[in-house]
Structure 1
Amino acid sequence: MSTSRMRAEIGEQPEALRRTLEALLPRTADIAQLARETRQVLFIARGSSDNAAVYGRYLVESHTGRLATLAAPSIATTYKRKVDLSGVLAVAISQSGKTEEIVETLDWATGNGARTVAITNGAGSPLAEAAEVALVTDAGDELAVPATKTYTTQLAALSVLGLGLGADVELDDLRAVPDEVQRLIAITESAPALPEIVEELAQVPGAVVSGRGIAFGTALELALKIKEACYLHAMGLSYADLLHGPIAVVDAQTPALLVAAEEGPTLPGTVALARRVTTAGARAYGIGGGKGLAESSSLALPGPALAEWVAPLGLIVPGQILVENLARRLGIDPDVPRGLNKVTQTD
């Protein structure tokens, strides 16, 4: 099979991230203005954008001291209930900016007193037009249905949002991301473990994908990619939730993929989980987590050498490459998963 469009777009991510950061870093002052008039953040999204929002939530709460929550759009669109959103910064995320439910929910938030930000790859889209501040990513056209470069540029926009909200982080950490993603693509594709993990996953009906904290959104996004591009059952869980019962499903036919930054407070728990999985006779595949996770896993792919707060911008990349390879191994065209369209409309 020739190179997929998904693989080509994975390779376009370093430059897409460079363009996006160049375009959005000057907007931190606009965000700071809204920050002075709000006290908490409400993220509005679906699908991959919702997984990006999970990263945004952890970033905001761990580094700005603000409460951040994920919206339930059906409260606006189906129940049509009023909620007092005074003092709230509503951040709507949609790669196309055309998902009617997300646009309607942002309009609802405005009507309930929220200040508003849009994160979208669609310049001039209905979502961008509806927000007070539009952080328009510069991923370029994305033709494959599974989001890759639009997802990582959303994370870049959320990192800029965090800076505008006063996050206690170093800007140089964010500036290092594009070059590190470029390096990571090269070393992942040459990693001896990649074809081995692909072959083992091709023999099982599904997997558990787990991470915690800043890496939790990455686990959710990787699980979604496995489901939509490879048609395998994949459960994305925080390892804290996994230990509360669902770990019982991890066995010889249900391996665990574990994702972690190379530093941070959740890394020891991820390493311990890998040991528990392998001790129980199941397979654990590590992504990131440095030497500790690699040594505790059955097989492992490298992760980004990035500070924890920006690690998810690189951490998903080995997972994207793994999924693209696995789909082709299974005889599936990863560019056009069955039953899916690039823009999804929900009631």
Structure 2
Amino acid sequence: MALPSETQTLMFNEAAQSASVIAAQFARNREVVQALANDLRQNPPPFVVTCARGSSDHAATYGKYLFETQLGLVTASASPSVGSVYEAPLQVRGALYIVISQSGKSPDLLRNTEAAKAGGARVVALVNVEDSPLAQLADTVIPLGAGAERSVAATKSYLASLAAILQLGAYWKNDPALIASLDALPAAMSQAWECDWTALTDGLVDAHNLFVLGRGPGLAAAQEAALKFKETCGLHAEGYSSAEVKHGPMALVGRDFPVLAFAQPDETGSGTRAVAEEFAARGAQVWLAGEGGSLPTVVAPHPLCAPLLTIQSFYRAINALALRRGHNPDLPPHLNKVTETV
């Protein structure tokens, strides 16, 4: 079967909608998010738990760093099998339990949501399908508003998940600078879509393995990018913290080994750049997105916006790379749009 052109794929066209999706999402959800945030300030939870799989779990990584750095709230990722397979009761009284899902119908997420409610948690669902079983279980629903997403590889729904977490965090902290960044983000997203990452696409056409590095909120972008390399390009990639990669995995990095690094524009950026420079000195093939990097990026209206902008630029590049490698990014082998695990 002939492959579509770069601009004909569902992935390209759905990812290109992200800026408008997020602008509409922010406007639509403002009141419900403000009300939730006000209540959380008045009745603060002792901790936060996230529950998700796949790209949604990468969004949860972003949430962990946002809630911990901005609100000082310990945020843990729930293992879905604990509730769905082991059927263990959860001691989560008073906690904020955030479930992230596009379809809102995966059995393991539903079972864990039930267990969280039984354990006394307050459940917030970030979900794209608003009449889904998950939405019906939740105490509060924050609709992603991404609309239909037909490409198997999630793009706009992932970015909408990050945006929903960002909006909640901004109003929960009640930080004027962070709230102001919400208004500036959609325009920055449009600019990020136009960034030319052809150098990355050209360099990975014949690659077999790859590391993707990030740190802090940028780790969520690294995890998401690594998944997209695997599912759309048939390219084995692993996402690591730019600190964690030095605890063993870096032994693999030698001459011509490909490394993609995302330097977050915050206190972690210098460390990521230093690791990228160290690997380049070994002869590794390194691409750096961020200050001083070889891949162009858009100046973020707030450091917490940067992962969304980085991934928006990346999605356009990965769509092109998949086609260059002979893959249709909309139809990865052996995968379905909705994965229902127990």
Q: Taking structure 2 as the reference length, what is the TM-score of the superposition? A: 0.94
Question: Where in structure 2 are the equivalents of 1:171-182 lying within 5 Å?
Answer: 171-182=179-190
Tell me if structure 1 keeps the 8 A contact 2:90–2:115: no
CA distance in 1, matches of 2:183, 2:253: 38
| SS of residue paired to 2:295 | strand
What residue in structure 2 maps to residue 9 of structure 1?
14
Q: How many residue pairs align between the two structures? A: 334
Match of 2:98 among 59, 81, 91: 91
Match of 1:115 among 102, 114, 122: 122
Identity between Structure 1 and Structure 2 (%):
34
| SS of residue paired to 1:59 | helix
CA distance in 2, matches of 1:106, 1:303: 37
CA distance in 2, matches of 1:86, 1:145: 36
CA distance in 1, matches of 2:135, 2:37: 15
What residue in structure 1 maps to residue 305 of structure 2?
310
What residue in structure 2 maps to residue 236 of structure 1?
239
| CA-based RMSD | 1.4
Tell me if structure 2 keeps the 8 A contact 1:204–1:253: no
What residue in structure 2 maps to residue 54 of structure 1?
61
Q: CA deviation at 1:37?
A: 5.0
Deviations 1:50-76 (A, max 9, x none): 000000000000001111111111110
Tell me if structure 2 keeps the 8 A contact 1:60–1:167: no
CA change 1:167–1:43 in 2 (3 A) is farther
CA distance in 1, matches of 2:123, 2:44: 11
Q: CA deviation at 1:222?
A: 0.4
Runs of 4 or more above 6 Å deviation: none
Q: Taking structure 1 as the reference length, what is the TM-score of the superposition? A: 0.93
| Mean Cα deviation higher: 24-33 or 204-213 | 24-33
Match of 1:146 among 113, 134, 153: 153
Letter in 2 for 1:33: D
Tell me if structure 1 keeps the 8 A contact 2:123–2:139: yes
Q: CA deviation at 1:250?
A: 1.8
5+ long unaligned stretches in structure 2: none
CA distance in 1, matches of 2:324, 2:75: 40
Q: CA deviation at 1:252?
A: 3.3
In the alignment, structure 1 residue 128 sits paired with structure 2 residue 131: no
In the alignment, structure 1 residue 166 sits paired with structure 2 residue 177: no
What residue in structure 1 maps to residue 88 of structure 2?
81
In the alignment, structure 1 residue 327 sits paired with structure 2 residue 322: yes
Tell me if structure 2 keeps the 8 A contact 1:9–1:148: yes
Tell me if structure 1 keeps the 8 A contact 2:214–2:263: yes
5+ long unaligned stretches in structure 1: none
Letter in 2 for 1:146: A
In the alignment, structure 1 residue 210 sits paired with structure 2 residue 217: no
CA change 1:159–1:320 in 2 (3 A) is same
Q: CA deviation at 1:140?
A: 1.2
Match of 1:250 among 239, 253, 260: 253
CA distance in 2, matches of 1:38, 1:61: 13
Tell me if structure 1 keeps the 8 A contact 2:206–2:325: no
CA distance in 2, matches of 1:305, 1:42: 28
Letter in 2 for 1:281: G
Q: CA deviation at 1:124?
A: 1.0
Q: CA deviation at 1:108?
A: 0.8
In the alignment, structure 1 residue 33 sits paired with structure 2 residue 39: yes
Letter in 2 for 1:69: A
